[in-house]
Structure formats: C-alpha cells, structure tokens
A and B are shown apart, each in its own frame.
Chain A
C-alpha cells in the first residue's frame, strides 16, 4: 500500500534497463520499497540493476521478460506479475525509444516501430494493468512522457507524436479512474542526459536521471497528476505551446 507520505512497497518497472526507470526504482527503494519487478526485453541486461537494487535494501527483486512490441503477450504477462506478487502499488512505464528524426521521417518501418514501441505498446500493456489495479482498488501508474508531448516540433515529431499519444491516453485514463483508488501520474521531463540522448547536444534546462527520480518521488508525496522536470519546463512549454505557427516553425529547437 502507498502510505501517507507517498512511499510505496511493491513496484513493477516496465523498461527494466531504462536509466530513468532505474533511477526512479533506486529512489523508491531508498524510500523503503520492498518488492521490485524489473521487466525488460532482454532480462540478462537488467540483472546488474537488480543486483544494485538488492544491495540498496530491496527485499525481493525479480527480473522478467517483457517485450513492448509483442502485444498479444501482454495480458498473460500482467496476470503473471500480479498473481505472483499480490498487490502492486506502483507501475512505472519507463521504456521508450528516440530514433533519429531524419531517418524516421523517411523510413516508414522505423517510424512505425517507434510509434508502436512508445505508444501502441504502452496502451496494450496498460489496459490489462488497469484492469488488475481496479480490482485491487488502489495503485499508481507513473508514465514517462516528455515535454515533446506538449507540442510536436519539426526536429523530433515522430518521437513527439508518440509521446503526445501516450500523454493524452494517460490523462484521459487518469480522469476515468477517478474514484477507483487508482491514479495516473504523467511525468514530462525535458532533456535528460542518458544513453538515449548521448549523441545529442544537451538542450537548455537539461537534467540527469536522478532529477527525474526526485521529481517522481515528490509527485508521489503530493499526489500530483502531472510532473514537469525541471519544474520550469512547465512555463517554457506553456510559452512554446502558444507561439503562433509561423514563429514556432522558425525556432531552431
């Protein structure tokens, strides 16, 4: 059960090799989370992280196989995790890919795969997860969206539109779950310095994965619906969102 200061006990991390996902998991374990399930496409790659979480004090850390693109495997996967662990207090949707925009804009297959990974796969996994959480009557779903979801830009609109889809799905889902005991928290980080972005020049207001973890913990304590990382991004994106198209188009962002 989530307690009054937002600490949770059992966590499912979907995207068990995601740097941000693991930073959040570390933070939750420091805040006394006891049972962690890391779900990754390649379980072997999540093992070192599992070891680290055990060393931090998690009583049980399990690594399970999960493929975001294998949609039909999702219901059985969700049942297995929930049946095997009792209540899951928090599900973190942390996987995602950020492909090269130039390539994605021309390579139909690659673009579809990015959209299916970031958006369709999340929808496919979340529907059975929400079903189980409704039955247990409590739980928090944390989704890593992006500031890119707020307004798609010419420099990354395939990624941006996938996050916009995810973000919109999550907002509506959160509102539809009002009163069920299940909550949805949308996290919109700006530029996070991770391996996903190592080939890019850091944008202004860039942060590390730990800053996202800190913001997630803070959002859990406050019961927030939306978390911007860093917090100033909310203002920045609000301005950008309202810029007229001719102006926005000319910005080099």
Chain B
C-alpha cells in the first residue's frame, strides 16, 4: 500500500495482521529485503518532502522517501553532496539507513549512518522517537533492515564540494597482489576508490583490475569549463534478451575489451558526478541483460589479513567459469555504526552472477563458509540466498541486535522475507 501521510503509516503499524508490515523504499535491494510475503509492504517513496537544507551547517532534513537522485540534483549547485552514496541514485534515505549503505569512500568516511545526525523513527508500538547516535536504537536501526520500525525522516550531515565534477585517476593492475598493493599504498590519498576486477582471468592474471579513484574536483580544476553535463538517459536495455547471452565466452570478450580499453595510467580526468557514481543508472533496466532467469549479487567482506580468502574466492569462481560481468573490489575502513551493519575493516568483493549458472547454490554456500570462517560476512541488503546457519557466524552482534529489536518490537510487527529466510528475528 502507498501511505499518503504519516498517520497512514501509523495506522498500518497499528493493524499488522497475521503477516506483519514492512517499509520499502525504491526496491533496489537485489534480494528479498523489501518483500513481505502475505503481509503488508508500505511504499515509502511517496513521502518525499525536503524539510530543510542548511547550507551553512551543511545538513539536510528530509523525509525517508527522498531519493539520492533528488539529493544529487538538489545539492551540487549549493556546493554540497551526499556524504556516502551507493552505485545507484535510485535508493531512498530510509533504505540507506536500513541497510547502512556504503560507497566508494568507505575507507575514509565510513558508512551512511556515520553521517546521520538523527532520524525520526515510528516504532511498532506507535511512538515517534527522535533517535541519535548515542542511542542503542540508532545502532539497531542502522543496518537493521527495516525491522525496528519505520524511519520517517532523517537529518544528514553533508559533504562540501567545490564543483559538480569529479577528478578521476585510472590505472590498470595486472593481478590481485598488484591491485591490493596499489590500494594499500595510495587509497588514503583519494576520497573515492574502487577496482573493477576481471573474474574470469586465471593463473598469473588472476585478479587483474582497473583501479578507479577520484575526488571532487576543486574549483580551479573546472575553471576552464567542466565536462558536458550528463543529460537525461536515452539508453535502455531491450525488453527481452535471449537467455544465455551472458556466457563465459561473451563475458570473457567483454572483460578483455574493458581491461584493454582502460588507460594504463591516467590522472585528473574530469567527469560529471552521475557518470562517476551512477554509471548503470544511465542504462534503464540494465538488469534485463541477464535474460529472463535474472541474476543475483554476492558481496562479501573479509578482515585485513585474510586476503587469502579473496584469492580463494576468485579462484573458485574463475574455475567454475562463473561469468560475472560486474565484479567490484574495494577497501573498507573501520566501521563505527550499526549492530548489523555490513562493513568491517578489510576488503570487499561484489559480484553479479547470472542465476542460471548450474551449481551456483553450492558454489556460493562454499564461499559463505570460507568468509564466515575468516571472520567476514556477506551483505544482507544484496543477499538473496543465505541461510540461517551462516548468519550467526557472520554477524557477531546478532544476539545484541535481537535483544534490541525484541525491546522495540515485542509483538513482531515488522517482518520481511529476508528475516524469515535467514532467521533474523
């Protein structure tokens, strides 16, 4: 249902029925985080007022349904930008809090909730609370996958920027050791850093990558006029793709071309914000390229010192010939918010995998074990296949979170398919 007011949201929580209630933003989670089979789902994106924008203090107060697309239109002209953004602008502030999202700047700025000054939470009991980082409820809700109540609005500390452009450096790394060495050595000099990794490369070139790092361009860098503005997207994936188009051979060819096309080393290239942060948003319905059987995403993180798990994961995927078109590698910094937040200091690897790959379940179950044993975890906001056994091993603060959730939602009003599947609640 689409609540048109806060009172309507409160009314829905007061009458949860047998199967409970869940708030949903723009539905960009790859799995079942924003689904509630048999129950009610509140489409929150309609409640999207921008309450106040304080350029002086660099803060904004918005309804939870406000999207990053709205913010990224509103902010740059005022010399401001969202402090943390995911790879698509089509997420809401409420969703960003529920998943405690991270971006290419996690090594430096932490996750989204690190920049949330406060939010207003409608609890399952019907109370409207203002929650701040000093509260336990803040850390139960940050990364709490929407199971502690409904976030109504939030005040977020913004980043000051001098231009609406990015200054981007690109370089190639020949293998996994090379890319990790380059990231370890110089990531601190960039606010944003990410590597595209060729998952099909094997042997000596295992982990070959294109490293993309950048900062917001300073005013003098764009004095001569920046790059052309990023117009509205006209690209769209066709409505139907033949199944099996993304097979090992085609992805290998794509990866080879992408790797070769990247400059060996290039510095200071100016790019508009959207093409740096949201490249896939430029192709509408890009997910269709995976054909009717779709794809799933797997994102893991392992702590520093367990780089061996990354190598093993890549080797297994490469051996299985798992054609991952979009594989992304990045360093995380320390994580300060959220009992169930995903990031931890170390390395994260994200993969898109066509769901039609036979034996995929067993392959990823094996990776789960490796990751859990290494003290790492997989990202619940993207997960669509984890089981209950792996969850407790991956999230050591699960018990603490469950206690906090039990306190705020003893009747179990907030429910989701994700919670049912992985046994969160």
Instruction: Mark A residues whose CB is within 8 Å of B.
Output: 1, 3-7, 9, 31-32, 34, 87, 134-138, 181, 218, 221-223
Contacts and interface: CB of A to CB of B under 8 A. Distances in A.
A110 B32 CA distance: 48
B220 interface: no
A136 B38 contact: yes
B19 interface: yes
Contacts of B4: none
Contact of A5 (B37, B39, B385): B385
A181 B19 CA distance: 14
B37 A136 contact: yes
Contact of A4 (B31, B36, B37, B388): B31
The 6 A-B residue pairs whose C-beta atoms are closest, nearest first, are A137-B38, A137-B37, A4-B384, A1-B421, A5-B361, A138-B37
A5 B296 contact: yes
A134 B19 CA distance: 12
A4 B417 CA distance: 12
Nearest to B31: A4
Nearest to A181: B37
Contacts of A138: 37-38, 417
Nearest to A134: B38
A137 B365 contact: no
A32 B355 contact: no
B83 to A, nearest CB: 31
A135 B385 contact: no
A34 B423 CA distance: 12
Interface in B274-289: none
Interface in B12-50: 18-19, 31-32, 36-39
A7 B361 contact: yes
B342 to A, nearest CB: 18
Interface in B195-253: none
Given A34-B388, A222-B293, 6 more contacts: A1-B37, A3-B384, A5-B385, A181-B37, A181-B38, A221-B361
B385 A137 contact: no
B364 interface: yes
14 contacts: A3-B386, A3-B421, A4-B31, A5-B355, A5-B361, A5-B364, A7-B361, A9-B421, A31-B361, A32-B387, A134-B38, A181-B37, A221-B360, A221-B361
Contacts of B38: 134-138, 181
Contacts of B296: 4-5
A141 B92 CA distance: 36
B191 interface: no
A4 B355 contact: yes
A222 B387 contact: no
Contacts of A1: 32, 37, 417, 420-421
Contacts of B385: 3-5, 7
Contacts of A136: 19, 37-38
B356 interface: yes
A9 to B, nearest CB: 7
A4 B355 CA distance: 7
A31 to B, nearest CB: 6
Nearest to A6: B361
Nearest to B361: A5
A34 B417 CA distance: 17
Contacts of B421: 1, 3, 9
B324 to A, nearest CB: 15
A38 to B, nearest CB: 21
Contacts of B361: 3, 5-7, 31-32, 221
A32 B39 CA distance: 26
A91 B387 CA distance: 19
Nearest to B387: A32
Contacts of B420: 1, 87
Contacts of B365: 32
Contacts of A32: 361, 365, 387, 389
A28 to B, nearest CB: 11
A136 B293 CA distance: 24
A223 B389 CA distance: 25
A181 B32 CA distance: 13
A7 B355 CA distance: 12
Nearest to B293: A222
A6 B365 CA distance: 13
Interface in B165-186: none
Given A7-B385, A181-B38, A221-B361, A137 B355 contact: no
A222 B36 CA distance: 22
A195 B39 CA distance: 43
A2 to B, nearest CB: 8
A137 B364 CA distance: 27
A201 B241 CA distance: 45
A35 B356 CA distance: 26
Nearest to A3: B385
A65 B420 CA distance: 27
Contacts of B36: 137
A137 B39 contact: yes
A222 B355 CA distance: 8
Q: Among B19, B385, B386, B389, which residue has the most Cβ atoms of chain A within 10 A?
A: B385
A9 B356 CA distance: 20
Contact of A222 (B19, B356, B362, B417): B356
A227 to B, nearest CB: 15
A9 B420 CA distance: 10
Contacts of B358: 218, 221
Nearest to B39: A137
Contacts of A181: 37-38
Contacts of B387: 3, 7, 9, 32, 34
Nearest to A31: B361
Nearest to B363: A5
Contacts of B31: 4
A155 B249 CA distance: 49
Q: Which of B38, B362, B364, B385 has the most CB of A within 10 A?
A: B38
